[in-house]
Chains A and B, each alone.
Chain A
């Protein structure tokens, strides 16, 4: 890849303060092209805030975000989406009143011809196994299915980087296994950052894991190293990191 010297995503000294509360402090983060990264950490560690700063839903108090070397700090959400970053949010954001097909269709339609859009939409439905329920109204679907619809809208916009905030939440074991397979398959062509609490799920997909604690990065290493680390265990058991 010609741009291999430039990382896909780089965060430098990213800090987010809400009044007196510091949600993220001095986060330095690097992601290569087509990398798969898992973010873990206890509740309130600042993972979702970090995602919100990457996607323009929040403007960082300090620090910069670069996407392929281009400064995207403080850009509007829709502009960042156009650069090629897609996100599945923690609380599913789908078009509840529309059918599954229309959800995917609208996501695929931006800047594309009708023919292209239809092709991408039906390919995405097929890929996620949603073709059978394409005409169901999304608001009436089960939680796991709605999660997939949202992942579908993210895929249909064909982003270079996909952020998944708790993609396996509320899913049955079989659904989790399928989601893990899907993530590995997507990762063949696109970079992914996954936030997840489910350790089994992390073990299924992870190569490199970044651990957040109290708004900072605690450790970043191979999955086996991270999960064996005493500090990580302490954090998850609620003790203070040494």
Chain B
């Protein structure tokens, strides 16, 4: 319990240090690149939460990311103020997940088909938004633009003050603060009764049912929380480029986020964050070298991890560190070892 609290405080502290240190140590290009990496980390957290803790295998988390992005774009253009648009970018994916999740979980759809359905929904949304070119497809003042997407989306302004637009450095602060906030929120949920029941259902749905919990409800709640987080990610993604296009719904987006989680470590929160940043950095590095195709890099990374480090980075590093300390202490009894392994499952 104590070590879990210590690691939580360390992660938050490191996040805050990075938040304030980065603008002083890198140029504007580097800062903007890190901003989009952090956006992807938020997206990765949504997948890591529902999959790693809720045991829900969604192949279509991009649907909620894209919905968040498009909702923000449409709302911001219509309102001329980002405050309400941000709220909508969280609410709309949440409602969509509530509807979709209700049919999936209360319809007793099996795990494999949940993967198929979420995947299909993403493909449908991709084709739907792709087909919205022309003046006819306009929501209020906002043309959806079909395959070309929506350019010049008004970016974040000070809450309630549309005349003060945030500059890229301020957007960095907002983005990474959001990531830290989402992390803290998820840690809080996992420590609460709700989180413990969510994990218990992942461990054994039958037992959870027999002690009086309705797994359908808890899975639905998990799914909605995940969708809302993905929505925030999508909203910040639109803000990063002042632009959004149907590629956010592309299969590559859903696949990428799964790879972030696998590489970083399933069943952890830090893992998806590090996985996202690391892989995004690797892809952009490979892209700038233009020697190898970035998709090839992604593929090689995935294959290497599945074969060599199937549990992901964070669990491996954590085991190595605790093993090192136990050897140094020399007195690491079996009891203590079991305790740290317990903490690992929880973190």
Residues on A lying within 8 angstroms of B by beta carbon are 55, 57, 76-78, 81-82, 86-87, 89, 93-99, 102, 105-107, 109-111, 114, 117, 135-137, 140, 150, 153-154, 156-157
Contact = CB atoms under 8 A, between A and B. Distances in A.
B210 A89 contact: yes
The SS class assigned to the A binding surface is: mixed
Interface of B: 193, 196-197, 199-200, 202-204, 206-215, 335, 338-339, 341-342, 345-346
A116 B277 CA distance: 42
Contacts of B212: 78, 81-82, 110-111, 157
A137 B338 CA distance: 7
B338 A135 contact: yes
Given A95-B203, A137-B342, A137-B345, A86 B210 contact: yes
The SS class assigned to the B binding surface is: helix
A110 B342 contact: no
Contacts of B341: 137
B338 A106 contact: no
A78 B213 contact: yes
B200 A98 contact: yes
17 contacts: A57-B206, A76-B214, A77-B209, A78-B210, A86-B211, A98-B200, A98-B342, A99-B342, A102-B196, A106-B208, A111-B212, A135-B335, A135-B338, A136-B342, A137-B342, A153-B207, A153-B211
Contact of A110 (B204, B207, B211, B335): B211
Nearest to A98: B203
Interface centre among A82, A107, A157 (most CB of B within 10 A): A107
A86 B212 CA distance: 9
A136 B213 CA distance: 24
Nearest to B340: A135
A106 B197 contact: yes
A55 B211 CA distance: 11
A137 to B, nearest CB: 6
Which 3 interchain pairs have the tightest Cβ spacing? A81-B212, A95-B203, A93-B207
A97 B203 contact: yes
